[in-house]
Structure 1
Amino acid sequence: MPEISRFFGIRVEMFYDEHLPPHFHARYEGERAAFTLDGTLMEGEMTGQAYRLVREWAAIHPAELNENWNLAEQHLPLKRIPPLS
């Protein structure tokens, strides 16, 4: 499970051989959730500030997330995406 970013204790990952729609996973203090590339919660649970930060991060990096999804589909190395600062 390649980590593509980490910020404020939130770990963002994107997996190979995943199902559609294109998405990424985020973990924070025991919470786990999957988000579509536009930052919409798809499954799992992420609450409060962590949820808002993941959505903000996704809104800033749509092109990079899309590029990583395409790389994952081809089983190529994923690129790190800058964290929120």
Structure 2
Amino acid sequence: MPTVAIVDGVKIQFYWDDHSPAHFHVEHGEYRAQIAIDSLSIINGYIPKAQYRKVVTWAKPRKSELLKAWIQCQSDLHPGSIG
């Protein structure tokens, strides 16, 4: 599972050939969640609100990059990093 970014200690990751809807995974300590790219809402799991807000603030201007990374992973291509 490639890590495309780390936002204030929260890993932003994608899984190869993952299920729809388009989403990314976040990991912070023992917390894990999946966040939908279109709505930036948590679709599975849990992450503390403070970290969730930081991830959403980071992800909003990068939605198109996140979607591109998700599509690349669906084709077994490495998504690279997202700044």
Q: Same fold (TM over 0.5)?
A: yes
Moved over 2 A (4+): none
- How far is the alpha carbon of 1:55 from its aligned partner? 1.1
- How far is the alpha carbon of 1:8 from its aligned partner? 1.0
- How far is the alpha carbon of 1:58 from its aligned partner? 1.5
Residue 10 (structure 1) aligns with: 10
Residue 54 (structure 1) aligns with: 55
Q: Percent identity?
A: 28
In the superposition, the TM-score normalised over structure 1's length comes to 0.90
- How far is the alpha carbon of 1:10 from its aligned partner? 0.5
**Counterparts of 1:1-85 in structure 2 under 5 Å?**
1-38=1-38, 39-82=40-83
Contact 2:23 2:34 in 1 (8 A): yes
Structure 2 residue runs of 5 or longer lacking an equivalent are none
Q: Distance in 1 between matches of 2:17 and 2:68?
A: 15
Q: Distance in 1 between matches of 2:2 and 2:47?
A: 20
In the superposition, the TM-score normalised over structure 2's length comes to 0.92
Aligned Cα root-mean-square deviation (Å) = 0.9
Instruction: Report how many aligned residue pairs link the two structures.
Output: 82
- How far is the alpha carbon of 1:29 from its aligned partner? 2.0
Q: What amino acid maps onto 1:54 in structure 2? A: V
